[in-house]
Amino acid sequence: MMFAPLESIKEFIELMNSGETIMWVLFVLNLMLWYGLGYRYAALTRGTAGSVRHLLDKHEINGEKQPIRGMLDYAVIDAISAKNEANGILQDCRDYVYDALFPYYMEIGKYSILIRTIALLAPLVGLLGTVTGMIETFDALQTSSMYSQSNSISGGISKALLATELGLMVAVPGLILGKILDRKEERLELDFEQVTKILSTKDSHEM
């Protein structure tokens, strides 16, 4: 039992080596994909529930610290600070607020292109591995005896199709989870736009 993890690692390495370079490329793409998905999931945590207007009112209460639960809370605090900084300098604080929120726009969009690219690229890399494996299989048949041809065909095709399977295993979660996270990004962008609009309108009314 103590050597079970080592045996599993050895079997994994043998499996990856059976597909040669393509399998390792897909493995690296899979690691990059899940890193990007995990990062975006953490970054796209909205935070305090409720409407943006209510959240702005809570954070503008003097002398009362509100709990920070996610991206929108941090964005609201920075936007309010930018609005206060703009008071007395500009009649419209929209530019100040937008500048404060710009890093958050960049943060919520981070790794989105990477995820989409990997989700589209992985099946193609898997297909390339399959085609390469099939070519090698048919080349090997030319030098195989009639007795061993059946084993050569079944074993070669099995290894070739493994690359396609792994490519699909990388792509499908990337497409599904990527779309879910893209929707969360869109909702946060709408929240940021609402923050900018409310603070700018409130500032103009005060003036």
Q: Domain residue spans in the chain?
A: 21-206
Predicted structure pTM score: 0.78
pLDDT band at 207 (very low <50, low <70, confident <90, very high): very low
Q: pLDDT tens across 30-83, in order?
A: 999 999 999 999 999 887 777 888 888 777 654 455 666 788 888 888 888 888
Q: Cα separation of 134 and 136, whole Å?
A: 5
The pLDDT score that the predictor gives to residue 205 is 47
Tokens 């290894």, located at residue: 159
What is residue 74's predicted lDDT score, i.e. its pLDDT? Answer: 87
Give the CA count within 13 Å in the CB-facing half-sphere of 17. Answer: 6
Q: Using alpha carbons only, how large is the chain's radius of gyration in Å?
A: 27
DSSP per residue, 118-143 = HHHHHHHHHHHHHHHHHHHHHHHHTT
What pLDDT, on a 0 to 100 scale, did the predictor assign at position 88? Answer: 56
Two tokens, residue 127:
């297909």
State the pLDDT at residue 48. 74
Instruction: Tell me: pLDDT of 193 over 60.
Output: yes
Does the pLDDT value for residue 29 go beyond 90? Answer: yes
What pLDDT, on a 0 to 100 scale, did the predictor assign at position 57?
78
By mean pLDDT, which of 15-24, 44-53, 189-198 is the weakest?
Answer: 15-24
Predicted confidence at residue 147, as pLDDT, reads 45
Q: What is the pLDDT of residues 107-129, one digit of tens each?
A: 999 999 999 999 999 999 988 88
Torsion-angle region of residue 63: left (phi > 0), alpha (psi -120 to 50) or beta? Answer: left
| pLDDT surpassing 60 at residue 159 | yes
Please report the pLDDT score of residue 120 as a whole number: 93
Q: For residue 98, what pLDDT is reported?
A: 87
| Alpha-carbon span 167 to 170, nearest angstrom | 5
